[in-house]
Structure 1
Amino acid sequence: MKIIAFGASSSFSSINKALATYTANLVEGAEVEVLDLNDFPVPMFSEDTEKEVGRPAGAQAFFDKIESADAYVISFAEHNGTYTAYYKNLFDWASRINQQMFAHKPVVYLSTSPGPGGAKSVLAQAVGSAAFFHADLKASLSVPSFYDVFDMEKGEVTDSAIAEQLAKAAAALHA
């Protein structure tokens, strides 16, 4: 099983990327490819820009990576209660290639933040729209107070209850 994992953020030190990477690697025997959204540059989406430039190479490359996977682990960063502008823009471009971009493949949606909210607002939006993009949502989980439950140097969860919930989410990709 090939899993694409990424944090829906352009931050070079993304805690959501760390969480998605950790969770995807819990799937035994999986080949995990971790994406950095900064590797997929695209102009700001608009129908006018689309008419002018066509399909940007960054959008096609991102879509090709999505299409190559058997499953996904995506962790959503939250800016002002919603998706990061960088992710939303890239996703808008990629969904113009094929709106059904997840092709009924299994997906785990996560979110985290440094604070106690755990980016629950953006996670709720992602969960609410998953079917629209033909994502077979197997599990979703918000992880609050990231730095209290995750050791960035070791790349591991330090809270046993959170670790157990993430393991169950990862196992759901096989279901």
Structure 2
Amino acid sequence: MKIIAFGASSSFNSINKALATYTANLVEGAEVEVLDLNDFSVPLFSEDTEKEVGRPEGAQAYFDKLESADAFVISLAEHNGTYTAAYKNLFDWASRINQQMFAHKPVVYLSTSPGPGGAQSVLAQAVGSAAFFHAEVKASVSVPSFYDVFDMEKGEMKDVAIAQQLAHAASALKA
């Protein structure tokens, strides 16, 4: 099973990328490929830009990665209660290639933030709209107060209850 994992953020030290990587690697025997959104350069989406430039290489490369996967672990960063501009823009371009971009493959949606909210608003948006993009949501987990519960140096969860939730979510990808 090949899992594509990424944090829906352009931060170079993304806590969401760390969370997605950690969770995807809990799937025993899986091949995990971790994406960095910074590797997929695209202009700001608009229909006018699309008419002018066609399909940007970054959007096609991102879409090709999605097609290559058997499953996904996506951890969503939250900016002002919604998707980050970087992720939403790339997502919009990819949806123009094929709105059914997740092709009925299993997805685990995660979210985290440094604060107690755990980016729950954006997580709810992603789960709520998943069917439009043919994502088969197997689990969703919000992780509050990331720096209190995760050891960035060791790349491991310190909070046992959250670790169990993430392990359960990861196992749902194989079910």
Q: TM-score, normalised by structure 2?
A: 1.00
Segments of 4+ moved more than 4 angstroms: none
Instruction: State the partner residue of 1:40.
Output: 40
| Residue 129 of structure 1: how far off its partner (Å) | 0.4
| Residue 34 of structure 1: how far off its partner (Å) | 0.0
How far apart in 1 are the matches of 2:168 and 2:84? 27
How far apart in 1 are the matches of 2:156 and 2:95? 32
C-alpha RMSD over aligned residues:
0.2
State the AA in 1 paired with 2:72: Y
- Write out per-residue CA displacement over residues 149-170 of structure 1, whole angstroms, 9 at most, x where no aligned residue: 0000000000000000000000
State the AA in 1 paired with 2:153: E
How far apart in 1 are the matches of 2:96 and 2:104? 17
Q: Percent identity?
A: 89
Q: 1:92-131, aligned counterparts within 5 Å? A: 92-131=92-131
| Residue 75 of structure 1: how far off its partner (Å) | 0.2
| Residue 26 of structure 1: how far off its partner (Å) | 0.1
Instruction: State the partner residue of 1:6.
Output: 6
- In structure 1, list runs of 5 or more residues that go unmatched: none
State the AA in 2 paired with 1:138: K
State the AA in 1 paired with 2:67: E
How far apart in 2 are the matches of 1:61 and 1:107? 20
| Residue 29 of structure 1: how far off its partner (Å) | 0.1
Q: 1:116-155, aligned counterparts within 5 Å? A: 116-155=116-155
The residue matched to 1:130 in structure 2 has which SS? helix
- Please tell me whether residue 30 in structure 1 is matched to residue 54 in structure 2: no
- Write out per-residue CA displacement over residues 30-81 of structure 1, whole angstroms, 9 at most, x where no aligned residue: 0000000000000000000000000000000000000000000000000000
Aligned length: 175
Q: TM-score, normalised by structure 1?
A: 1.00
